[in-house]
Amino acid sequence: MERKYITYQHSIFSYFTSGNGDKVLLCLHGFGEGADTFSFLEQYLKDDFTIFAIDLPWHGETKWQKTLTFPVKGMIELLELIIPNFSNRSIYLLGYSMGGRVCLSLLERLPEKIVKAVLLAPDGLKVNSWYKLATQTWLGNCLFKYTMRYPQWFGWMVDLLNRSKWINPSVAKFVHYYIDDQKMRNDLYRIWTTMRKFRPNLHQIQTNINKHQIPVHLVFGIYDRVILPKHGYTFQKEARNNVMVDVLPTGHQLLREKQAHFIISLLTDE
């Protein structure tokens, strides 16, 4: 895959492109990862697809210089710059975790351009109450910022809830993974706040999927305690036969080469 750079909104976005196929595949990565996580797909898809994988703000080699806001409109404008002849192209979507939430927002705003979407453990199907408080309210964001600077009280509360069996131990472990390290806390605050405008309207997305007959594959790990398969089934009910749900014997880490053939089968199955 070839890394390229483009200037947008006084920032420099990094992205990879590869392949020479007629179909356009847009790949969007998860939290704390980068566009290079899709590199293992190149050998399988390069003849059928032209792949574009973007480093989102605060990820990879993208140098985000604007305020802590990246709107959905900005994402669409970025795609218009990166993908040649964008207005006349149709797009396949492949999103993982946070990238799945971005893909959902594109299904909401650009349904007429989407051929198919494959979403791996997609965020955005269920609004986490903590995330909503931390990113969608002024007071909550102030508390979020304070907690990222002084995390002791929150860690204590998570441990209490864990001991009381009010939360799953894997959730407590997940929380500590992010709040026990200063860099991780800084990244968490910046990324969550910057990406807060990606708030998929699920009802509108379901309507778009049905109207435009867009095949959407939702893939979950049965051992994932963060993005639960049940949210995929709930979403599927209102999208009729256009949404398919698969649950694999794994955890949250679905974007791995061992899953390559399964992911490719979803993208190429017409």
Mean of the pLDDT values across residues 117-136? Answer: 87
- 118 shares its domain with 232: yes
* pLDDT score at 22: 92
pLDDT at 136 over 60: yes
CB-CB contact of 232 with 220 (8 Å):
yes
d(CA 189, CA 200): 20
pLDDT at residue 67, as a whole number: 83
pLDDT at 256 over 70: yes
130 pLDDT exceeds 80? no
CB-CB contact of 69 with 41 (8 Å): no
Q: How many domains does the chain have?
A: 2
Give the pTM: 0.91
What one-letter code names the amino acid at 184? M
pLDDT score of 100: 97
* 189 shares its domain with 70: no
Pair (23, 104) in one structural domain: yes
Structural contact between residues 267 and 45, judged by C-beta atoms closer than 8 angstroms: yes
Q: What is the mean predicted confidence (pLDDT) over 197-209?
A: 95
Measured distance CA(95)–CA(218) in Å, rounded: 10
> What CATH number does the domain containing 59 carry?
3.40.50.1820
What's the CA gap between 220 and 227, in Å, rounded?
7
Do residues 188 and 231 share a domain?
Answer: no
- So what's the pLDDT on residue 24? 97
Domain boundary pick from 154, 174, 194 = 194
* Ranges 30-34, 109-113, 142-146, 259-263: which has the least confidence: 142-146
The pLDDT tens digits for 141-170 are 888 888 888 889 888 988 998 888 887 787
Q: Which domain holds residue 8?
A: 2-126+199-268
Could you give the angle at which helices 202-212 and 229-238 cross, rounded to 10 degrees?
Answer: 60
* pLDDT over threshold 90, residue 173: no
Phi and psi at residue 196, to the nearest 5°: -70, -20
**Residue 88: predicted pLDDT:** 92
The answer on 160 and 76 residing in a single domain is no
Are 170 and 96 found together in one domain? Answer: no
Is residue 270 pLDDT above 60, yes or no?
Answer: no
Residues in the chain: 270
User: Does one domain contain both 107 and 135?
Assistant: no
- Do 205 and 169 share a structural domain? no
Rounded distance, CA 239 to CA 245, Å? 11
Closest to 86 (Cα-Cα) out of 26, 171, 6: 26
The domain boundary, picked from 137, 162, 194, lies at: 194
Span 54-89, pLDDT tens digits: 999 999 999 998 888 999 999 999 999 999 999 999
Do 263 and 145 share a structural domain? no
Q: What secondary structure does DSSP assign to the chain, as a single string?
A: -EEEEEEETTEEEEEEEE---SEEEEEE--TT--GGGGGGGHHHHTTTEEEEEE--TTSTT-B--S-S---HHHHHHHHHHHSTTGGG--EEEEEETHHHHHHHHHHHH-GGGEEEEEEES-TTSS--HHHHHHHHSHHHHHHHHHHHHS-HHHHHHHHHHHHTTSS-HHHHHHHHHHHSSHHHHHHHHHHHHHTTT----HHHHHHHHHHHT--EEEEEETT-SSS-HHHHHHHHHHTGGGEEEEEESS-S---SGGGHHHHHHHHH--
pLDDT tens digits along 93-126: 999 999 999 999 999 999 999 999 999 999 999 8
160 and 213: one domain? Answer: no
* Same domain, yes or no: 108 and 138: no
Domain end marker among 194, 215, 240: 194
Looking at the structure, tell me whether residues 159 and 33 fall in a common domain.
no
